[in-house]
Amino acid sequence: MSTAPPGADELERRIAAFLAAHDPARTERTAFLRARFDAGLAWVHFPEGLGGLGAPVALQHGVDEAFRRAGAPTNRPEANAIGLGMAAPTILAFGTEEQKRRFLRPLWTGEEIWCQLFSEPGAGSDLAALGTRAVRDGDSWTVDGQKVWTSMAHEARWGILVARTDPDVPKHRGMTYFVCDMRAPGVEVRPLRQLTGEAEFNEVFLTGVVVPDEHRLGEVGEGWRVATTTLMNERVAIGGRAAPREGGMIGVVAGLWRDRPELRTPDTHDELLRLWVDAEAARLTGERLRQALAAGSPGPEGSAAKLSFARLNQEISGLELELLGSEGLRHDDWTMRRPTEVDFTRRSPGYRYLRAKGNSIEGGTSEILRNIIAERVLGLPGEIRVDKDVPWKDLPK
């Protein structure tokens, strides 16, 4: 007989019992996180044994808040956003039981960081045009190619990889999805210096990298379908994150407005009000989106959340510089850093302004997202695609 998933009251009892048995002040951080995962209090909507209890996803925020109030250590989601927001839901949807049990626990605890090996120099917005090859050799695959814009590849233990396994069929049908060991022979990570002066992302060269078939996610040739799940979750993870009122960038600028009255002008007052309303509307829309997702997987509506996030971050960071004038142009940590996380709120205004420029590129360019919204949400006619039924090998390179 199946057991009904726990509700809010039952979760409160389980959290209280867990904290009584695992004092956050006395339990070593990794041990605490592992125990929380094993108790089903990591992703409460995941199945039992995989960090969850099969509870409604809407209860997750309350669980996280209860642990925060107790002073419990976090799994530092800012350092493993790709793993938590993209790899985990894809593994849950397409992974074998062995893959789920191998990868999900150290992913959630932060013991293993993940990166995304999708984009290539000739296949960014058109991901399906990618040319990295994976050739089968018995129970393994040999991968050769180049990936680019790979955030946190320098920290990652694993990478989610899409490669071409059949060049004789149209581009969307000849790809396969893998989990790649970033420590395997033949994996070379080179830093890419950004507008901010640091190297948060990289280019990755794959030369004769052996990937066991047991690290394949989904069926051979089904890589586009699996990758779509990843991309839809990515856009929700970037643009639909849970946040309190005045969370994120709008809180930084609103705080500046309150603390520095000498910076205020009538024009910037009106602009701040407009952006505050836009940010609050985006926050509430994101909350509604997360509630809708409790009943299924992310769809194209996540593209709208990510598109709004990029626009708002860029406009808000621009207003911050307008308020500060020449003071805001100073970027106080212009060094060739190799960061372990992306953090907007604790950095300088100059950094925020420069880094926000990437928000309309990462996770799908704003132009591509507008196409998705137009075609899949509004039902407008799609763009003409002359390469849809042409084998990949015959496409212009």
> Per-residue pLDDT for 11 more than 60?
yes
The Cα 302–Cα 237 span in angstroms is 9
All structural domains of the chain, each given as residue ranges with its CATH number in brackets, are 9-74 (no CATH), 114-221 (2.40.110.10), 240-377 (1.20.140.10)
pLDDT tens sequence across 352-369: 999 999 888 887 788 888
Please name the residue that has the structure tokens 């018995």: 138
Q: Which two tokens stand for residue 72?
A: 């419990």
The Cα 183–Cα 165 span in angstroms is 22
Residues in Cβ contact with 71 at an 8 Å cutoff, skipping those fewer than 6 apart: 24, 25
The Cα 139–Cα 5 span in angstroms is 39
Q: CB burial class (10 A; 0-12, 13-18, 19+) of residue 21? A: exposed
The Cα 136–Cα 165 span in angstroms is 8
Lowest model confidence (mean pLDDT) among 41-45, 75-79, 334-338: 334-338
Mean pLDDT of the chain: 90
The Cα 22–Cα 33 span in angstroms is 10
Q: What are phi and psi of 184, to 5 degrees?
A: -70, 150
- For residue 278, what pLDDT is reported? 95
Helices (H) and strands (E) in the chain, counts: 12, 8
Active site residues: 234
The Cα 227–Cα 222 span in angstroms is 9
Query: Which residue type sits at 128?
Result: A
Lowest model confidence (mean pLDDT) among 113-122, 216-225, 347-356: 347-356
The Cα 70–Cα 73 span in angstroms is 9
Cα–Cα distance list, 195 to 269, 316, 336 (Å): 29, 18, 11
pLDDT tens sequence across 153-164: 999 999 999 999
Specify whether the CB–CB gap between 318 and 353 falls below 8 A: yes
> Per-residue pLDDT for 1 more than 60?
no
Q: Which two tokens stand for residue 142?
A: 């040999």
Q: What is the DSSP letter of 111?
A: S
> Per-residue pLDDT for 248 more than 90?
no
Q: Which two tokens stand for residue 388?
A: 């849809």
- For residue 53, what pLDDT is reported? 96
**pTM score over 0.85:** yes
Q: How many CB atoms sit inside 10 A of residue 134's CB?
A: 27
